Every structure is written in structure tokens, then in C-alpha cells.
Structure 1
Amino acid sequence: MSDATFEDGAEKPLRLKALDGEDLGVLSGLIQDAIFPATEIKWDRTARRFAILLNRFRWEDAPKAEARNRTYERVQSVIVIEDAMAVQSQGVDPRDKDMVLSILSVSFDKGTDGGGYVELTLAGDGAIRVQVEALEVILKDVTRPYGAPSKAKPEHDA
């Protein structure tokens, strides 16, 4: 049996779960450059569930788009953080209907007894920190892919 590759998921919706830091690193790469309005951030204290509906760049499809000279794609996805006990943010106002945010990375700062903090680093010095009892993060594509409005692949300075 071999490890999965980006190409394995290129034509199918992603449905992934991270239960450790290594898994979360994979999810972080897949949602890098995802954009979302601040109004799509939801925290259900009773259910202990934090979620964001985001527009994810399809990194797993980018090599095919380049090889076939076709438009890059995005897809609406939801990222869900289970066992969320507390949420803190910096530079984020979930009531601001005009605020659009972009995810740079997601990491886990391990605490004691399996708990810790899931940290979403956002462009423009923003951040969201979710205290969790245990690490369980789910990424699920919820729509069909669509052509990236910018028609460009996100670029980053080295």
C-alpha cells in the first residue's frame, strides 16, 4: 500500500480529518490561500464546534490545470474544529459584512492531555485561536469546483 497523492483526490471532493499535528499540516497546505467573509465564522458553544465556510483554492488540481492550460479552480469547503472550548481572535470582526479574510496556515500548539490550541494564521496579521479538548479538525468540500475568479494561482514570496 502506498501513500495518497494530490492526484488521487483531483477529481473528487475532499473529506479529510486531522487527528494529530502531521495530519493538520496536510490540511493546512490544502486550505492555504482560502478566502472567506468574516460572517462565515460560526462557533456553537453548546455543541463545542467551530466552523468556517471558505472558498478554497484547489491545490490538488493545480498541476493538471497547468498541464492542460485550463483555468485554476476553487471550491467551497467547510473546516470544522470539534471539541472547541474557547475561541479568541485578533484582527477579526465576525459582524463586519465587508471583511474578507485569507488563511495562511493552520497549526496545533499542543497542551496537556491531548488538548491544546488550533491556530489559524490569517493574512494581514489576523489570527484565530481555538482551544480544544482534543485535536479533531475536518475539511470537507461542499460544492462542485468552479473557475477561480482571478484565473491565477496564489503566489508567495520566499
Structure 2
Amino acid sequence: MSDARFEDGDEQPLRLIAQDGEGLAVIATLLQDAVFPITEMSLVRQKRRFALMLNRFRWEYREAAEKTGRQFERVQSLLVFEDVLAVRSQHIDRTATDTILSLLDISFLPGEDGTGLVTLVLAGGGAIGLQVEALDVTLRDVTRPYLAPSGKVPEHGA
């Protein structure tokens, strides 16, 4: 028996679970520069679940694409946070239903007894804060990859 290798996952959809800050950092890295319509985020209060349907850049295949001349790809992914007690947002106009948001980072500030604050940092100064009873996050690709409309790797100005 041997450890899984990165190459073993070639062309397979991602399905990741994070239950601590270290696991969330992996998911955050894979979701950097993901974009989503403001209408594709929802809170189901009865289930204490917050979900986003994102179009993420496939960072895990960037190097292979550059080496082979393959075009860059995106894929639709579902990001789900369980055990959500409260959701707050900053600098987001929820009434502007045609707005496309861009995710830059996700962080976790632990509190007492496993609780904490998850912050989704958005381009343009926006943020979404999730007060959680426990960190329980799932990222799952739900479509086949498609060519990135820009054809480029996302970049950030200095």
C-alpha cells in the first residue's frame, strides 16, 4: 500500500472536507479567484447550512496546462458550511442581483469549544462572516471542467 499521489487524481472531480483551520486553508487555496453570482449563495436556517455555487479556477492543473499548452479551466463547485449560527456581510448589496462576486480568501478564527468565525474575503472590499458552532466544510465539484472564458490565469494587481 502506498500514499496517494497528486497524479492519481488527474481529471477527477474534487471532493474535500475540512474540519480544522489547516483543512480550510487547502480549500481556500483551491477557491482563490472563484467567482459566483450573488444569487448563488443561500442560508438554510433550519439546517444551519450556508452554501455557495462557485465557478472555481482549476489551480491544481495550472502547471500541467502551462507545460502542455492545454487551455486553463474552471469548474462549478459547491461549497457548504454546516453548523452555521449566524451570517453577516459587509459591503455587499444583496439587492443588486446581477452582481458577480470574486472570492479571494477564506479564514477561520477559532473561538471557545470548537466555535469560531469563518470569513470569506471578496474582491472590492466585501466580506461574508459565518459564525459556526463547529468547523465543518465541504467542497465538491459538480460539473465537468470547462474552458476558462478569459483563457488566462487570474492575476492580482499590486
Would you say same fold, with TM above 0.5?
yes
8 Å CA contact 1:115–1:133 kept in 2: the answer is yes
Give unpaired runs (5+ residues) of structure 1.
none
The residue number in structure 2 matching 1:139 is: 139
User: SS state of the match for residue 55, structure 2?
Assistant: strand
Give unpaired runs (5+ residues) of structure 2.
none
User: SS state of the match for residue 11, structure 1?
Assistant: coil
Shift of 1:155: 1.6
Give a deviation string over 1:100-144, Cα, whole Å, max 9, x none.
100000010101000111110000000000000000111000000
1:1-158 aligned within 5 A: 1-2=2-3, 5=6, 7-157=7-157
Structure 2 Cα separation of the partners of residues 3 and 49 of structure 1: 31
Q: Percent identity?
A: 56
User: SS state of the match for residue 61, structure 1?
Assistant: helix
The 3 A distance-change label for structure 1 pair 9 and 96 is farther
Runs of 4+ in 1 over 6 A off after TM superposition: none
TM-score (norm 1): 0.94
Larger fraction in helix: 2
User: SS state of the match for residue 81, structure 2?
Assistant: strand
The 3 A distance-change label for structure 1 pair 4 and 127 is farther
8 Å CA contact 1:38–1:95 kept in 2: the answer is no
Shift of 1:10: 3.5
Aligned residues: 157
The 3 A distance-change label for structure 1 pair 10 and 102 is farther
In the alignment, residue 142 of structure 1 is paired with which amino acid?
A: V
8 Å CA contact 1:107–1:119 kept in 2: the answer is yes
Shift of 1:81: 0.4
In the alignment, residue 11 of structure 1 is paired with which amino acid?
A: E
In the alignment, residue 94 of structure 1 is paired with which amino acid?
A: R
Shift of 1:2: 4.1
In the alignment, residue 100 of structure 2 is paired with which amino acid?
A: V
Structure 2 Cα separation of the partners of residues 50 and 69 of structure 1: 37
Shift of 1:4: 5.1
Shift of 1:95: 3.5
Give a deviation string over 1:35-66, Cα, whole Å, max 9, x none.
00100010001100000000000000111111
Structure 2 Cα separation of the partners of residues 72 and 57 of structure 1: 8
